[in-house]
Structures are given as C-alpha cells and as structure tokens.
Amino acid sequence: MTSLLHQLTLKEDPHPDTEFYYRQQFRIYSEPYLIWDRETWETIFSTCTVYRVEIEGRYAGDLIIEDIGRGTKYIVDFSLLPDYQGKGIGRAVLERIKEMSRRLTAVTREEMLPFFLKCGFVLNRTLKNYYFRNVDGYFISFSGGSQDRR
C-alpha cells in the first residue's frame, strides 16, 4: 500500500478526452444510473476541472471539481478503478484536494458516505431519490479548519 501512495500523482487534465472518460466509467460503476452519456461528459468538461489520479503513470481514477465561488469547490465525480480501491489512495487524493480549497462539498451515495465521513466530511442532509427512485444522495461538506453544518 505505501509504495502505491508514493507512486500517486494527481494532475490536472487540461484537455480531457470525452471518449476515454466515458469508457472508464464502465470499469468503475456497476449501477446503470451512475453512467453518464457522452453529452453529459462534454458538458461537465466545459464547466469543471478534471484531475487524473495516476499510479506509476497509469490511470487509476479521476476527480472532477467545479468551482462554485467564494472559496467553495464541488466534487462532481470522484472515482477509482476497482484495483485501486481500499488501498488509501482515495484518502490521499482527498487530502491533496483539501489543500486546494477552503471548502469542499459533494453529493455521494450511501455506500460511499462512511469513506467521506472518515475523511473529515460532515453530512449536511439527505436528498431523497437523488440518483434514482429509492436511491438517496447525501449532501456532504468539508471546511478547512472548522466543520460547519450549514
């Protein structure tokens, strides 16, 4: 695990390839309601900053951030390929992104909520049927210094 973290790079992708990221999501997500179409990827790339998570120079996942103003950044997507999950890489990526922003927010799924809470995020509210019928979203936030529950 430690050697993987030493090989971790998080770098901005200034010209994200829609087709590449579109294909990667099928390797990451098993729930069909989480799969974005190509048009959604293009829209996201036009308004957000994409960071590639790489291990030893190979794609391991991505972090997509939208600057929503006043020092707050919204995590639009944060995903790692299955081979890189559960190895501390996600936590390391979040620590790096926390250094770049005063406040982070996101909506996440129930199965990811414990991970974000362990990384210092707080649950602000539950969004009923956010992803799909009977699949709620959880609005979370992290504030550098003090956790605010607004």
DSSP code at position 84: G
Q: Quick one: pLDDT at residue 87? A: 92
Distances (CA, A) of 92 to 53, 78, 85: 10, 12, 12
What is the average pLDDT score of the chain? Answer: 91
Task: Give the three-state DSSP class for 131.
Answer: strand
User: What CA–CA distance (Å, rounded) separates 40 from 50?
Assistant: 14
Which residue in 43, 46, 40, 51 sits closest to 101, CA to CA?
51
Q: Quick one: pLDDT at residue 64? A: 97
The proportion of the chain whose per-residue pLDDT surpasses 90, expressed as a percent, equals 81
DSSP alpha helix (H) spans, 13-88: 18-28, 38-47
| One-letter identity of residue 10 | L
* pLDDT higher than 70, residue 39: yes
85 forms beta bridges with none
The pLDDT tens digits of the residues spanning 102-127 come to 899 999 999 999 999 999 999 999 99
Q: Quick one: pLDDT at residue 2? A: 54
Topology given in CATH for the domain delimited by 2-106+126-135: Aminopeptidase (3.40.630)
* Mean pLDDT along residues 38-42: 96
- Residue 146: which pLDDT band, with cuts at 50, 70 and 90? very low
User: What CA–CA distance (Å, rounded) separates 135 from 102?
Assistant: 30
